[in-house]
Structure 1
Amino acid sequence: MSDQSFGPLARGKALAPFHLALTLGVLSLGLGSFSVPAMAQTVEDQASPVPILDELTVTTTGFGTPRATHTGNISKITGGETDFIDPVQPAEALNRLPGVGIQQGSGAEHLTAIRSPVLTGGAGAGSFLYLEDGVPMRAAGFANVNALMEAMDEVSGGIEVVRGPGGARYGSNAEHGLINFLSRPPSPEGDAELSFSYGSYDRYRTTGTASRTLSGPNNTSHGFRGSFSILDDGGFRASSGLEQQKGRFRYDFDAPDTRIEATLTAVNTNQETAGYVNGLDAYKDPALYKTNPDPDAYRDAWAVRGAVRIERDLSDDLMLVLTPYARSNEMNFLMHFLPGTPVEENGHWSGGLLSSLVTRLDGGHSIIFGFDTEYTDGWLTEVQSSPTTGTPPNELPQGVHYDYDVKALVLAPYIHSEWQLAPKTIFTAGVRFEYTRYDYTNNAPNGISGRFQRIPSRVDEFGDVTPKLGFLHEFDETLTGYVNIARGARAPQTTDLYRLQRQQVPGEAKSETLDSIEVGARGRWQGIAYETNLFYMKKENYYFRDANGFNVSDGKTNHAGIEVELAAPLPMGFDIAASGTYARHTYAFDNVTTATETIRDGDDVDTAPRTLANVRLGYTLPDGRARAELEWVHVGSYWMDAANTVKYDGHDIFNLRADYELTGNLALFGKLTNIFDTRYADRADVGFPGPRYFPGEDRGLYMGATLRF
C-alpha cells in the first residue's frame, strides 16, 4: 500500500494505482495473444430479455441452480445486460429489479433499499449484504453505507439479488437482502475488449478486459482474466468531481476432481462531495439545484480483497469446498451532513474461511454442512478541527469526538438441505448459528464530551440463530409456486455500540431480527415469462437516529408488499421487460421526542415510496447487430420525515440506450438519460434545519465505442 493519491481530488490516504500497470499489462498480453475473430456475442445475445426460468443462479447454494427450482425469490442481471446498461454507478442497473430502490447521492455515494425503506447510518450499512462471488466484500460489523462504491460491476459476469433474509448460508447483514456481484470468468477461446465513453458533465470512462485459457496435462486447464475500469467524472453540480479506478485479476484451474477460482480486486475512490440543497422543493429551483453548499466536502477510500475458492470431489457424492479470503480498506471523509463538519477516518483488515461439505443423497436430496469463521481488526476516529457555528459549541465541541479500535471474531456453523419430496416438489430447510465477539478499546478519554459519549474499553458478545424453511411445487409447465419462511438477523454494527451519545446506555443495542414469509409464483403464460410474490416481514430492535439526533435502539417496523417481474417478446422485433413493486413499510411502535418529530404506530417509515416500477421497451434488428431500448423509471411519492408531515411527490424519468455492431470488431453505443429534462430529487428527507435534497441530473448524452479482438 501507499499514500500516493490520484489526481487533484485526492486528500487523504488513497490507494496507489493498485498495480493498474499489472492489469494493463495482462490486457496488453491478451491483446497481443489473439487473432481477430468475429464478435463472440451479437448485441441481441447481450441485451435482450432473458427467459426467467432458464437462468442459472449460484447465490443460494454456491453452485449453478436453475432459477425455476429456486425456493424463494431471486433476480439476476446478466453480464451482457450490464454491458448494455453501461451504468455510471451500480444503482443504474440494480434499480431495474423489483423491490430495489437505491438512492444515488453525490458521486459514488448512495443509500440502499431492498424490501425496505431507504435506510441510513448503521441500519443502512448493516441491513444488506454485498458479496463478490459469494464472499462478503466487508467484514460483519464494519459495513459501509456506501458499500456499492467498492463493487466492480463494469466488467461483470452478472449480478444476483435476493430480497429478504439471505438464508442459512449467509449471516449478519443478509437481513433485508443481499447483492452478489459475479466476476467474469476466463473465456475458453480467449477474448479481449477495450471500451471508451464520454458524455455530459465531462464524464469519461475506459474499461478493458482480456482472458486466455491454456490446456494442461491430464485434462487440466488454466484460465486467466485481467480487467480494469477508470472513471473521471466532472460532476453535475459545483465542486462535485469523482475519480474511480478499479482492477481485478481472476485465475481458474480445472481438473477432473478439483476446481479453483481465485480473484484479486482493488478499488480506489476520490471524490469532491456535493451536499444537500436546503429548503422546500429546492431541487426545482434553477438558482439552487446545481450549487454545492459544502464545497470543501470530500470522500477518499480504497479497498483490496482476495479470495480463493477450492472445490475438491472426495467421491461421486461428496465434495469439500474451502474459500479462504482476506481484505483491507480505509476511508477518509468530511462529515458535511453534520453541524461542525468533523472528519472521520476508518479502516479494517480482515481474513476468514468459508468451508462446506456438500453431500448428495439418493433420491435427489442434498445437504450442505458449513462452518464460517472471520477475524477483523478495525479502527475509527472522528475529529472536529474548528468550533461549531449555528449551534451551542458545548453540544459539538472542537477536538476528538471518538478514537477507538475493535477486534472482532465471528464463528458460524450452519446446515442447508434440499429434499425431493416428489418429482415436482422440493422442501428446503436450514439453520445457522452465528457467534460474534467484539473487543473494543477506547483511545480517547472516557466520559461525555458535548453530545458524545466515549465509553471505557469492553467486550460484547452476541449469538443469533437464523432458520429457514421453504416449499416449491411445479404445478405444470406454466406455473411453479413456492412458500419461503425465514429469519434474518444481524449483530449491531460497531458504530452502533461504541459511537454513543450522552443519553444512551452502553450495551443497550441488541441484535436486530427480521421474520419473513413470502408466497410466490413463476412461470410462463402466453409467451410471458414472469415471477411474482407477496411478502410480509416484521423487524424488532431496529436501531436508528431520530429527529433530535439521538439513537433509538428498540424500534419496530412492519413490511408488506407485492413484487412482479416479467419479460416477453413482441411482434416485429420488439420486446418488453418490466418490474414493479407496491409495498408499505410502517412503524410498529411510538417514539415521542423533544423535537418536532413524533413517531406513531402505523405511520409510514420515512423515505419509503409505496410504488416502484421500471419498464423497458426494446427493439432488435433482425440480424441482431443493433438494439435500442426505451426505459421508464418510476419512483412513487414518500414521506420525508418520520412524523409524516413533509412529502416528496415522486418522479418519472425516461432513458434511451442503443448499441450497434459496426463491424465484427467494433461496436458503438450511447445513451440519452432523463430525456425530458425532468427536475427531480435522487433523495429527499428532512434534516438540519429542514427539507433537503440531492437533485437528480439534467438530461445527459453519452457516446462510446468498444473494440473486440
Structure 2
Amino acid sequence: MNFPGKTLFALALGASAVQAAEEMEEVIVTADFRQTELMRSAASVSVLGELQIEERGAQHLEDVLSAAPNVSWSTGASRSRFIQMRGVGDLEQYAEPKYYPAVGVVVDDLELGSAANAGMLFDVSQVEVLRGPQGTRYGASAHAGMVKINSNAPTDTFEAQLSGGAGNYGSYHYGAIISGPLGETVNGRISLQQNQGDGYMQNRALGRDDTNSYDEVTGRARLSWQPGANASYDFALFSFNSDNGYDAYSLDNDRYSWSDQPGDDAQDTLAFTVRGMWQLGNANTLQVVATHLDSDLYYSYDADWVSPELCARFTCSFGYDTAQEIFDRDRRQDTIDIRLLGGAETLVSGDLRYVLGFYANRNDEDLDYAYPSAWYGLYASASSYETERYALYGELEYGISDSLRFTGGMRVERFEDDYRDSNGVSEDNGENLYNGELSLQYSLSDNTFAYATLALASKPGGVNVAASSQYAFMSPAFQGFMRGNLRFEDETLFSRELGLKTRQLDNRLALRASLFYTTRDGAQLENWMWDEGAGLWIGYLDSNSDADAYGLELETTYDLGEAVQIFANVGWLETEVDTIRTFDLDAGDFVSKRDREQSKSPQYQYNVGVRALLPSGFSATVEAEGRDDSFYGYYHDGKLEAYDLVNASLSWSNGDLTVNLWGRNLGDEEYATHGLYFGADPRDEVGAFSNQSYYQLGAPRTYGLDLSWWL
C-alpha cells in the first residue's frame, strides 16, 4: 500500500519505522513454497498485519477474521476454532477427532488442527488468510483454505517490550518480549503473555458473572542460528495453557444462563519446531521442518442447561436433569517435511524452477467420554484413534515469456486410520488422495497482475466415531438410517479461480479481486439427529451429497490525501447442496432437503473503514463490518441473522510508548456466531421441551486501553 502516513500509523502502534516502510512497499506472503509479494501471488489472500491486530485490540484469531471476505467461523466452544471459507469448513467438535479440519490453522510451521484455541496473536507479525484449496503445499491440512499465523522472528539487535491493557467485562492482559543477539551467529527471542476476562454471561443459578471466562497464557521462544553462508537453523518452542469456562447458551437467548454445572474448555499444549535450510550449490536449497505437538484438551458443558433454581421459580415439566457431557482428550502429533527447491531465481522467458518434497504426519488421540445424567444414567466410553499420512509432492514453474508463466503442482498422499473404543467398535481404513494445481500468471504491466488457477483437492474419509459408538443403543429406525452412514467417504473439491491485482492512480489505489467456482463431490457435511426413544444426539459426517459454490472477493485500499486511507473488503457467495437426507425434529421423520445453502455461508460479507493521521502523534480508525444471514445446520431451517457492527480505535505514540484506546461492536448489537435447534426448555410457560432455536452470542460492546513500551 502506498500510504504516506502508514509509517506513522505503524509507529503509533509500536512497530518500527523500517518495518512500516517495508509493509508500505510490499506485503510478503510466506505460506507458499517460496515467499511471494502479495500483489504477485496467484491466490486469493488476505494479510492482516500488526496494524490491524493492534487497531482492534485483538488477542485471539477470532478477533480479526471478520476483516477477510468469505471467511466465517463457528464457536461451540470458548473460542472460535473452526473456520469456514467459501462455505466449506467444520462447524464444531464433540466426540469426533478432527486433526485435519477443512480449513487449517498453522502457527509458523506448526499445524494446530483441533488445538486451534491456541491461535493467540501476542507477538505476531501477520496473519495470512488463504482462500481456496492449498493441496499441493498442505494436502488434507488445507482442503478449503489455510490460516497461517506468523510470530515475530528473533532480531539481530536488542529490543524489549512491556505491554498490558484492561477493558470492560473484567478483561486484562500483560506480557513481555525480549529479543536480540546471543552471539555472532545466534539470535533469540522470548515472549510471554497472560490474557484474562470474565466473559459475557451471567449465571443466575450460581450468582456468578465469570462462568464463561477465559484465562490464557501464551509462551513463545525462538532461536535462529546461521553458522555459515550456506546453512541456517531455527528452533521454536510454543506453549499455550488455557483454563476457560464454557457457559454460553441461555434458554431465553440472552446473556443470562441457568446452568448449575457450567462447563470448561481447557487446553494445555506444548510444541516445538525445528527447521534447517542448506544451500546446495548456486541453484538448489534443501529444507527440513520437523514438529511435535502434545495437547491435553478438556471440554465439558451443562447438557441440560438448567438448575433447581430455575424450576423453583418456574413450573418445569418432568423436573430437570443433571446431565453433563465431558470430553477429555490427549493428543500427540509428529510431522516432518523435507523439500528440495531448485532452478532459476527469476521466471523470465525460458526460466524454470521446481520443488520436490516428502511429508509425513502421525496423530494419536485418546478420548475419555462421559455423559452422567439423572434421567439416562451414566454413559461412558474410551477410544483411541490413530492416523498416518505420507505424501510425495512436487511443483514446476516455467517462464513462457517475460510476462507469462505457468505453474503445475501435484501431491499424492497415503492416508491410514485406526479406531478402537470400549464399546467394541473397531475400524481401520487406507486410501490414496490426490491433489493438483495448474495456474497461468500474466503480468499485464508493472502494476497489474492476473492469474487463472485450477485446483483439485482431496480430504480423507473415516469413521463416524460417535455414531459408531452409539449404534447399539439407537432406536431401530435410526439404526436402519445409520447402517450405511457409520463411515463417511473422501471428498473431492475442484476449484476454478480468476484473479486480478493492480495498483493505480500513482499507487494510491490498490485492488485485489478474485472470481471462483467450486464443486464438491461427496461433500462432507456435518449433521445431527435426535433419537428421542434412546435419548441420544447422533452427530455424523454425511458424504452422500454433492455441493457447489461460486462468488467474488474484493479487497481495496485508497489513499485519500496525505493522511487518510479508505479500505473496503467485500465477499459475495452463492452455495448449494444438491440433496441431504436427515431427521427433521418438527416433522418427526426422515426427510430429504434439496438445493439448500451450505451452513455458515452468508451471501455477503463486508469490512469497510477509514484510517486517519491526527496532529500531535495521534491516529484513528473507524470501521464497519457485517454479513448476511446464514443457515447453521441441516436438521432444521434455523438461521443466524444478519448483522452490522462498528469498531474504532484512537492511538497515540511518541515512538517508544504507545497508548491505544479501542472499541468493538460499539453499537452493542446482539448477534449470534453459532446455533442449536432442539427442545431444551422445561418451563411450561414457554411450551415445555418444544423445539426452539438457541444461539451462542458474539461479543457485546467491548472496549479497552492498551499500552506498550519499547525499551
Q: Give the letter aligned to residue 646 of structure 2.
A: F
CA–CA distance in 1 between the matches of 2:260 and 2:492?
Answer: 37
Match of 2:546?
Answer: 556
* Residue identity opposite 2:27 in structure 1: E
User: How far apart, CA to CA, are the structure 2 residues paired with 1:524 and 1:40?
Assistant: 21
Q: How does 1:440-589 map to 2 (within 5 A)?
A: 440-442=419-421, 444-446=422-424, 455=425, 457-492=426-461, 496=465, 500-502=469-471, 503=479, 504-505=482-483, 508-526=487-505, 527-541=508-522, 542-548=524-530, 549-551=538-540, 552-571=542-561, 573-589=563-579
Aligned to 1:616: 609
1:305-384 residue pairs with structure 2 within 5 A?
305-336=271-302, 340-361=323-344, 363-384=350-371
Q: Deviations over 1:478-500 (max 9, x none)?
A: 42111111122222366658855
Contact 2:167 2:702 in 1 (8 A): yes
CA displacement at 1:208 relative to structure 2: 1.8
Q: Deviations over 1:82-110 (max 9, x none)?
A: 23433132111122112212245563245
* Deviation of the 1:578 alpha carbon: 1.7
1:399 to 379, 387, 401: 379
Asked whether 1:679 is paired with 2:670, we answer yes
Corresponding residue number in structure 1 for 2:221: 249
Distance 1:698 1:109 in 2: 16
Matched, 1:692 2:694: yes
Question: Is the 2:659–2:708 Cα contact (8 Å) retained in structure 1?
Answer: yes
Which letter maps to 2:696?
A: F
Map Cα deviations across residues 543-580 of structure 1 (whole Å, 9 max, x no partner): 42234445333232211111111111112511111211
The 2-side partners of 1:40 and 1:627 are apart by 7
Q: 1:130 to 1:361 in 2, by over 3 A?
A: same
Report what 1:34 is aligned to. none
The residue that corresponds to 2:244 in the other structure is: 271
State the shift of 1:315 in Å: 0.8
- Which string of whole-angstrom CA distances, capped at 9 and with x for unpartnered residues, describes residues 385-444 of structure 1? 2334xxxx3xxx5222x31222322111100121111111121111111111123333x1
Amino acid at match of 2:407: T
Decide whether the 8 Å contact of 1:44 with 1:627 is kept in 2. Answer: no
Which whole-Å CA distance do the structure 2 matches of 1:121 and 1:675 have between them?
A: 28
Separation (CA, whole Å) in 2 of partners of 1:259 and 1:330:
33
Q: Determine helix, strand or coil for the equivalent of 1:412.
A: strand
Deviations 1:255-276 (A, max 9, x none): 3001112111010111111232
Query: CA contact under 8 A between 2:468 and 2:486: conserved in structure 1?
Result: no
Aligned AA (1:371): F
Counterpart selection for 1:57 from 9, 19, 29: 29
User: Matched residues in 2 for 1:53 and 1:419: separation?
Assistant: 27
1:410 equivalent in alignment to 2:402: no
Q: How has the CA–CA distance of structure 1 residues 595 and 41 changed in structure 2, closer, same or farther, with 3 Å as cutoff?
A: closer
2:129 to 142, 158, 161: 161
TM-score (norm 2): 0.83
In 2, the alpha carbon distance for the partners of 1:292 and 1:627 equals 44
Does the C-alpha gap of structure 1 residues 698 and 65 become closer, same or farther in structure 2, counting only changes over 3 Å?
closer
Partner of 1:149, secondary structure, is: helix
**Counterpart mapping for 1:11-30 below 5 A:** none
| 1:514-536 Cα deviation digits (max 9, x unpaired) | 11111111111333101111111
Matched residue type, 1:462 = E
Give the deviation of 1:352 after TM superposition: 2.3
Cα pair 2:57 2:706 within 8 Å, conserved: no
Deviation at 1:246, TM superposition (A): 0.7
C-alpha distance in structure 2 between counterparts of 1:57 and 1:64, whole Å? 6
For residues 267 and 403 of structure 2, what CA distance do their matches in structure 1 show?
49
Over 3 Å counting, the alpha-carbon distance change for 1:606 and 1:136 in structure 2 is closer
Equivalent position amino acid for 1:525 in 2: Q
**Map of 1:236 onto structure 2:** 200
Aligned partner of 1:3 in structure 2 is none
CA distance in 2, matches of 1:44, 1:573: 16
Provide the TM-score with structure 1 as the length reference. Answer: 0.83
Matched residue, 2:59: 88
Q: Answer yes or no: is the 8 Å Cα contact 2:171–2:196 preserved in 1.
A: yes
In 1: Cα distance, 2:139 partner to 2:449 partner: 28
* Contact 2:441–2:449 (CA under 8 A) maintained in structure 1: yes
CA separation in 1, counterparts of 2:675 and 2:420? Answer: 37
Partner of 1:386: 373
In the alignment, residue 365 of structure 1 is paired with which amino acid?
A: L
Check whether the contact 2:678–2:692 (CA below 8 A) recurs between aligned residues. Answer: yes
Point out the more displaced range, 178-187 or 691-700: 691-700
SS in 2 for 1:189: coil
1:435 aligns with 2:399: no
Residue 460 of structure 1 deviates from its aligned partner by 1.4
1:151 matched residue in structure 2: 119
Q: Quick one: which of 84, 107, 119 aligns to 1:132?
A: 107
Deviation of residue 606 (structure 1)? 3.3
Q: In terms of mean alpha carbon deviation, does 686-695 or 120-129 score higher? A: 120-129
5+ residue gaps, structure 2:
1-7, 203-210, 305-320, 472-478, 531-537, 680-690
Q: Distance in 2 between matches of 1:547 and 1:627?
A: 52
Aligned residue pairs: how many? 633
Q: Which amino acid aligns with 1:604?
A: E
Closer, same or farther in 2 for the Cα pair 1:467/1:292, shift >3 Å? farther
* 2:657 equivalent in structure 1: 666
Provide, for residues 142-185 of structure 1, a one-character-per-residue CA deviation record: whole Å limited to 9, x for no partner: xx2xx431123211021111111013121113111101111201
Q: Could you tell me whether the CA contact under 8 Å between 2:109 and 2:289 is conserved in 1?
A: no
C-alpha distance in 1 between matches for 2:170 and 2:548: 43
Deviations 1:645-671 (A, max 9, x none): 44443111101112211x443211111
| Alpha-carbon distance in 1 for matches of 2:23, 2:10 | 17
Distance 1:655 1:49 in 2: 26
Q: How big is the shift at 1:706? A: 0.9
CA distance in 1, matches of 2:640, 2:332: 40
**Structure 2 residue matching 1:186: 3-state secondary structure:** coil
* Alpha-carbon offset, residue 320 of structure 1: 0.8
- Residue 201 of structure 1: which of 145, 151, 169 is its match? 169
> Using the alignment, how far apart are the partners of 1:424 and 1:622 within structure 2?
44
Aligned to 2:708: 706
- Is the deviation greater in 64-73 or in 304-313? 64-73
Counterpart of 2:643 (choices 641, 646, 651) is 651
**Root mean square deviation, CA, Å:** 2.8
Residue in 1 that maps onto 2:5: none
* Letter aligned with residue 526 of structure 2: F
Q: State yes or no: 1:98 paired with 2:89.
A: no
| Corresponding residue number in structure 2 for 1:13 | none
| C-alpha contact 1:246 1:266 (8 A) present in aligned 2 | yes
In the aligned structure 1, how far is the partner of 2:250 from the partner of 2:652? 39
Aligned partner (choices 595, 598, 610) of residue 602 of structure 1: 595
Assess, with a 3 A threshold, how the Cα gap between structure 1 residues 169 and 97 changes in structure 2: closer, same or farther: same
Q: CA deviation at 1:609?
A: 1.2
Pair 1:336–1:465, CA change in 2 (3 A) = farther
Tell me how far apart the structure 1 counterparts of residues 427 and 582 of structure 2 sit (CA, whole Å): 31
